[in-house]
Structure 1
Amino acid sequence: MYATAPGAWFASLPRAPRNVGDPLEPTVTTTDLPRQSRPRDDRDDFERTPPQDLEAEQSVLGGMLLSKDAIGEVSEIIKARDFYRPAHETIYAAILDLYAAGEPADPITIAAELTKRGEITKVGGASYLHTLVQTVPTAANAAYYAEIVHERAVLRRLVEAGTRIAQLGYAGAGELDEIVNTAQAEMYAVTEERADRDPGSPIASIVERVVDSVGARSEGEITGVPTGFIDLDSLTKGWQPGQLIVLAARPAMGKSTIALDFARAAAIQHGLGVALFSLEMSEDEIGMRVLSAEARVALHHLRGGTVTDDDWARVGRRLPAIGAARLHVDDSPGLTLADIRTRTRRLAAQDGLDLVIVDYLQLITPAGSRRNSSRQEDVAEMSRGLKLLAKDLRVPVIALSQLNRGPEQRQDKRPMVSDLRESGAIENDADVVVLLHREDAYEKESPRAGEGELIVGKHRNGPTATITVAFQGHYSRFVDMAQT
């Protein structure tokens, strides 16, 4: 990569006179001494010089001072804080500022800019800027050097995150779950920064994908995760990747039941990967409901242990399909948004993931740093976090939510989107809002007993509608009206 040995090449470069605190000359510590000259200490691993490549940093800056094109290329790869030396960070920021203003960025103009800012001495003087240009014969490799600088910066952040995590472990202060969540957040921040470098997609590939999707929709195909309901699939074409779907209802309407219907349709009927986070029901209760719905065995038979021979036969016929399903149930208490994010990412990596269901949004535990916030702020944070999760994983996320008492105070009990409880942010974040209503929940003798309504009150990319389904409470499921 270099014409001479990197150490000798770097040592031969002109240096500005060193002043105390000069960022060009890091203070020498015991870690700069040969290891055999100092006693072994368990802290050695933490005191080692962080990952860096000063020659690459100089080559990047030299290339940028030589070529306007190099500035554009490098700025897509690294940020100012990716530089190890503070002086290099300062020079880089000045180059980008002049570049953004449409002005030339060369040793003379950068020296003038840094002088105006009172920072020229801090970076080693104007002579150091000319030295940077002399270090590279051409600007053609600036992007390559920038990749090296970025790689070292990511490694430094991993070291920093690891150090902070180690300190958390040794301190042992606070609740264990909060410590684990903080540690996960440290690592997630590093990986997210890598993801931020995604340059996006060219319009050609986007349009090609859209054309394929439009063609499939025009032929009546389901382009997303099937819902399990014919009319709902016809309206939505399935749950789409990146969507946040909010399923809301008053208590005892059957939110959890229909959420399980969505999960069963995806995992058991279509072999897709589903993660179900149940913050209300236990996994045994969920298993019992899935068995009841799939085998058509009365739920009270399973709960009471009064299963007949015919019931056992139906269970036996459905067990292979249920056992093969990629349906992952997590009923851990006190789940935070960070927990859900971490576990879904792990599932996506291990087994593939096509749908995430959270039952329900208001039961997600706020992070420790937000425990003094208002309930509205907490719910807004959860809603936004689930929307970002859907975009990050590129899968639909269904979040169950409660409604306020608005429907019960009206003559017409049908819910409206404005009845979403505790936060208008839910409505803003949601791509689809489905409101579940059963008239017989209010009036037992209703002529519409056994019917449910899926009121699609918001559909960001399509029409809204009300879809009638049948409620089979004894089997813990909703089905299409045609199946009754």
Structure 2
Amino acid sequence: MQYEASRPQGPVLVQNLKDYSGRVPPQALDIEQYVLGAMLIDSEAVNIASAILPPDSFYLPKHTRIYQAICELFEKGQPTDLITVSEQLKKSRHLDVVGGLPYLDELTERVATSANTEHHARILGQKALLRKLIETMSKRITEAYDPATDAFELLDQAETDLFSISESQVRRSAKNLTDIVRDTIQHLQNITEHDGKLTGITSGFSELDELTGGWQDSDLVIIAGRPSMGKCVDADTPILQSDGSLVRIADLYERQHARLLTLGADHRFSITTPSAYVDDGLKPVYRVTTRLGRTVSTTLTHPFLTPRGWQPLGELVTGCSIAVPSELPVFGMKTVPDAHISQLVASILHPDRVMRPMADARGQLVKSRGLQKLPGWTFTLDHDCLKSFVDQLLAIKRSFRVSSRQLARQLAHLLLRFGILARVQHTAGDWTVTPMGTGRREEGKEQIVYDEITHIEARGLRPVFDLTIDDTHNFVASDVCVHNTAFALACARNAAMSSDRPVSCAIFSMEMSARQLAQRLLTSEARVNAQAARAGKLRQSEFDAVVRAANAFAHTRIFIDDTAGLGVLELRAKCRRLKSEHDIGLVLVDYLQLMQGRSKDNREQEIANISRSLKGLAKELDIPVIALSQLNRNAEDRKDKRPQLSDLRESGAIEQDADVVAFIYRASYYGIEFDKNKEPTEGVAEIIVGKHRNGPTGTVKLSFLKDYARFENLERYRRPEDEFITDSDEEQAPL
């Protein structure tokens, strides 16, 4: 081992610190002399001290040089007495600097016994640690006075410094190759001693572990998939906003802002804001029509709420029931004169007799004959004005005919604001709106009813969009309830519950709440239907299974943080604390695109900064960090829909920073029934390892149980003829 022979920086720093604070930094010169003297008279003292003290643990520069000379001789297996050390210092031209042979002789005379070397060495280590703290904090204090300093970056740097000091008193900027080779040989020996066993943290899936060797320390692992797996609605779908307006989902994507209705677990509506707006390109869409005349156009994979839970459209047929709102108590703030409301009602009920112009959505006057749709201001009326409109509409006729389907559905929608269910029918060239009574329930009761599907018809390729709704994962589209992390969560569960090497795991979820994650873990572990649990429809035997699953998790160490919009600095700070307090061995981030970076001007730069920070976190804590990421829609243009590295969304830096990139792919989700080997794809998920910095790439097939949102090792079917082989005499023998 070779140590730096140049003048150590410690004493220079000490002088600077003295000038800054007016006080002498912590030091113990007499103990330094005692430790060096003990090392000169006893080789065992060298062994003890060198294991505790790095070279910069000494306050005086000459003591540092003497210590380095002793350690160099010890590494070579040579004696470390007075004569050999003086010769070593003479070779490095430092003998006169340290005071010559007389000073070395003085050190040996100060020591009667080396019995207390370890105790004294630890005192020196503490003094050096205090000086290191003073050095670090003095730098940060100076930077804090600089007006150009970013406060959050400085806080992160200070916390990084403190964490590194707590891990080790010294952190060299570069290591000698000899040291690195020695560590590498030791690492390879440890791996060899595993005798083929897993060297990293298990994913819980045998073939994936065989491919990757487990999740390795300091690795950044990216698990990527398409957002919502193709669960999208047509671009023209109207979405009810909190101000009463109806806005196309395509327009919401352009605005990147919305406040809309979502259905809670109690089947009541509340206002929420999407966390992401997704353009999914062109896809085949299908129009669903119900007996009440409600319509919505979605992809086959988009789930609808049914009495059995959320089911994709591809699993529904005519005659199935889906949830629709029984009331939408949303009102705006706009008021208009009663004359405008009366004129609008008259133009609907008596279109042939009303000829006077009326105001449109922009306040301009237009002719009302043949009204095709309601003025935009109608939907944002306040409660009293809208009630006046509905009262006048229902006062004369029990049902009314209009010439436009859009107008008929708009009227049915406004009736729904007051809990009045209405049926829209096409009869004799016109559209009839028939109020059917109130759908309003008692206060606190459910705000949905189940409506029968009467038609499902293909509409061809259409632009489609989706919204990411945290917590509830659904929204109201065209007066129908529609739905919007299981693999990574399974990896965390398997790592924490491993029988061979359980580790503490930290899960940072910006998409789902802690309760939802816990519920998903419990239902998956208990093998009960997740939607039945969410709707409170578990049988007693299923509930008992959930309780048993909870008991199994009681002894695991999984920490969940559901802070929304978590920033890079906050994530790193929390991980450092968890590492220090609970020695976490795995971090899961769900998901990368929902994190907040420091750069707000350019989204790609922001994602690149987040990606680099996650890789830095993995190296700093020396644990694997798994981050979920979204893919762009390029895979949708391919025939087999298989993702690849170029599909990583928003930044190529993710691919560069990651040590492992894995894609989740389910062919059955895209209507592909058989793979290229003619094997069925139903219930099968592929984990495609597209990048592996330190190993091979490949594809692993897993079993996916969608009712439980659970991934398992795939039990491969073995043909009977595979059980036997033929020997040289052509007789069958057991394999």
Q: Same fold (TM over 0.5)?
A: yes
Q: CA deviation at 1:378?
A: 0.9
Counterpart of 1:51 in 2: which secondary structure?
A: coil
Q: Is the 8 A contact 1:213 1:223 kept in 2?
A: yes
Residues 424, 214 of structure 1: alpha-carbon distance in 2 compared, 3 angstrom cutoff? farther
1:284 to 511, 515, 519: 515
Counterpart for residue 456 of structure 1:
689
2:488 to 254, 259, 278: 259
Matched, 1:213 2:171: no
Residues 54, 371 of structure 1: alpha-carbon distance in 2 compared, 3 angstrom cutoff? farther
1:415-473 deviation line (CA, Å, top 9, x unaligned):
2234444244644541x3321122355x3575545542211223455543322334444
Matched, 1:316 2:560: no
Counterpart for residue 26 of structure 2:
51
More strand by share: 2
Counterpart of 1:214 in 2: which secondary structure?
A: coil
Counterpart of 1:287 in 2: which secondary structure?
A: helix
Counterpart of 2:520 in 1: which secondary structure?
A: helix
Q: Is the 8 A contact 1:279 1:334 kept in 2?
A: no
Amino acid aligned to 1:258: F
1:467 to 686, 700, 716: 700
Residues 461, 66 of structure 1: alpha-carbon distance in 2 compared, 3 angstrom cutoff? same
Residues 321, 163 of structure 1: alpha-carbon distance in 2 compared, 3 angstrom cutoff? farther
Q: CA deviation at 1:184?
A: 2.8
TM normalised by structure 1 equals: 0.63
Q: CA deviation at 1:244?
A: 3.9
Instruction: Map residues 131-150 of structure 1 onto 2, 5 A cutoff.
Output: 132-137=103-108, 149-150=124-125
1:192-249 deviation line (CA, Å, top 9, x unaligned):
433759978778865553333234x4xxxx5654433343345445445554433122
Counterpart for residue 578 of structure 2:
344
Q: Is the 8 A contact 2:29 2:59 kept in 1?
A: yes
Residues 335, 126 of structure 1: alpha-carbon distance in 2 compared, 3 angstrom cutoff? closer
Q: Is the 8 A contact 1:469 1:479 kept in 2?
A: yes
Amino acid aligned to 2:582: A
Instruction: Map residues 345-360 of structure 1 onto 2, 5 A cutoff.
Output: 345-349=579-583, 353-360=584-591
Aligned residues: 416
Counterpart for residue 478 of structure 1:
711
CA distance in 1, matches of 2:586, 2:615: 17
CA distance in 2, matches of 1:61, 1:308: 74
CA distance in 1, matches of 2:715, 2:666: 18
Q: Is the 8 A contact 2:200 2:215 kept in 1?
A: yes
CA distance in 2, matches of 1:51, 1:402: 52
Q: Is the 8 A contact 2:618 2:625 kept in 1?
A: yes
Matched, 1:155 2:130: yes
Residues 449, 246 of structure 1: alpha-carbon distance in 2 compared, 3 angstrom cutoff? same
CA distance in 2, matches of 1:272, 1:74: 33
Counterpart of 2:131 in 1: which secondary structure?
A: helix
Counterpart for residue 307 of structure 1:
536
Q: Which runs of 5+ in 2 are unaligned?
A: 1-10, 73-83, 231-484, 675-680, 718-735
CA distance in 1, matches of 2:495, 2:39: 52
Counterpart of 1:274 in 2: which secondary structure?
A: strand
Q: Which runs of 5+ in 1 are unaligned?
A: 1-21, 30-45, 98-103, 115-119
Q: Is the 8 A contact 1:298 1:474 kept in 2?
A: yes
Q: Is the 8 A contact 1:250 1:402 kept in 2?
A: yes
Amino acid aligned to 1:320: R
TM normalised by structure 2 equals: 0.45
Residues 309, 207 of structure 1: alpha-carbon distance in 2 compared, 3 angstrom cutoff? closer
Residues 320, 77 of structure 1: alpha-carbon distance in 2 compared, 3 angstrom cutoff? same
Q: Is the 8 A contact 1:357 1:399 kept in 2?
A: yes
Residues 410, 203 of structure 1: alpha-carbon distance in 2 compared, 3 angstrom cutoff? closer
Q: Is the 8 A contact 2:704 2:712 kept in 1?
A: yes
Q: Is the 8 A contact 2:687 2:699 kept in 1?
A: yes
CA distance in 2, matches of 1:471, 1:223: 26
Over alpha carbons, which structure has the higher Rg?
A: 2
What percentage of aligned pairs have identical amino acids? Answer: 32
CA distance in 1, matches of 2:640, 2:666: 12
Matched, 1:247 2:481: no
Matched, 1:298 2:529: yes
1:393-423 deviation line (CA, Å, top 9, x unaligned):
5xx4322233344434544431223444424
Counterpart for residue 380 of structure 2:
none
CA distance in 2, matches of 1:357, 1:275: 6
Instruction: Map residues 183-198 of structure 1 onto 2, 5 A cutoff.
Output: 183-194=158-169, 196=171
Amino acid aligned to 1:475: Y
Matched, 1:414 2:642: yes
Amino acid aligned to 1:346: S
CA distance in 2, matches of 1:112, 1:452: 64
Q: Is the 8 A contact 2:614 2:625 kept in 1?
A: no
Counterpart of 2:108 in 1: which secondary structure?
A: coil
More helix by share: 1
Counterpart for residue 400 of structure 1:
628
Q: CA deviation at 1:340?
A: 4.2
1:113-140 deviation line (CA, Å, top 9, x unaligned):
68xxxxx9xxxx9695566335323899
Counterpart of 2:641 in 1: which secondary structure?
A: coil
Q: Is the 8 A contact 1:379 1:423 kept in 2?
A: no
Residues 319, 146 of structure 1: alpha-carbon distance in 2 compared, 3 angstrom cutoff? same
Q: CA deviation at 1:71?
A: 11
Instruction: Map residues 165-184 of structure 1 onto 2, 5 A cutoff.
Output: 181-184=156-159
Q: CA deviation at 1:283?
A: 0.9
Amino acid aligned to 1:209: N
Counterpart for residue 11 of structure 1:
none
Higher mean alpha-carbon deviation, 284-293 vs 245-254, is at: 245-254
Amino acid aligned to 2:195: V
CA distance in 1, matches of 2:194, 2:171: 27
Counterpart of 2:618 in 1: which secondary structure?
A: helix
Q: CA deviation at 1:188?
A: 0.9
CA distance in 1, matches of 2:548, 2:144: 44
Residues 186, 367 of structure 1: alpha-carbon distance in 2 compared, 3 angstrom cutoff? farther
Q: Is the 8 A contact 2:36 2:107 kept in 1?
A: no
Q: Is the 8 A contact 2:588 2:625 kept in 1?
A: yes
Q: Is the 8 A contact 1:275 1:356 kept in 2?
A: yes
Counterpart for residue 275 of structure 2:
none
Matched, 1:231 2:207: yes
Higher mean alpha-carbon deviation, 131-140 vs 293-302, is at: 131-140
Residues 464, 126 of structure 1: alpha-carbon distance in 2 compared, 3 angstrom cutoff? closer
